C-alpha cells in the first residue's frame, strides 16, 4: 500500500489501460481485419442481414426451407442445449 490517495489513482489508470486493450482486441484493432471476413456493420451497409430464428424444431425446419429458396450467401444453423 503506497498511499490512500495514490492507490485509487493507480488502480484507475490500470483499469483504463485494461479497458482500452480489451476494446482494441475485441474491435479487431487497427488494420487487423483487412484480410478477414467483413464485419457485421459492413454487411448491413451492403444490404446483407443477420436473421435469428428461435422456436421448436418444426418452426426452424419450415424457416430453413423458406430461406434456402432465396439462395442466401451463407446459411448456418446452430442449436443451444441447456446445461
The pLDDT, as a whole number, for residue 35 is 58
According to the model, what pLDDT value does residue 39 have?
Answer: 73
- State yes or no: pLDDT of 68 exceeds 80: yes
What's the pLDDT score for residue 34?
A: 54
pTM summary value: 0.37
CA distances from 63 to 17, 25, 71, 74 (A): 45, 35, 13, 15
Residue 50: per-residue pLDDT: 76
Residue located via cell numbers 464485419: 39
pLDDT, tens digit, for every residue of 1-60? 567 788 888 999 999 999 988 887 776 665 554 556 667 778 778 887 777 777 787 778
CA distances from 76 to 4, 11, 23, 45, 83 (A): 54, 43, 27, 21, 22
Amino acid at each position: 500500500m503506497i498511499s490512500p490517495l495514490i492507490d485509487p489513482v493507480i488502480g484507475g489508470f490500470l483499469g483504463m489501460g485494461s479497458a482500452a486493450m480489451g476494446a482494441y482486441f475485441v474491435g479487431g484493432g487497427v488494420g487487423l481485419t483487412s484480410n478477414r471476413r467483413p464485419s457485421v456493420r459492413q454487411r448491413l451497409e451492403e444490404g446483407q442481414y443477420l436473421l435469428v430464428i428461435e422456436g421448436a424444431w418444426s418452426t426452424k425446419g419450415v424457416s430453413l426451407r423458406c430461406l434456402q429458396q432465396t439462395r442466401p450467401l451463407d446459411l448456418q444453423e446452430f442449436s443451444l442445449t441447456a446445461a
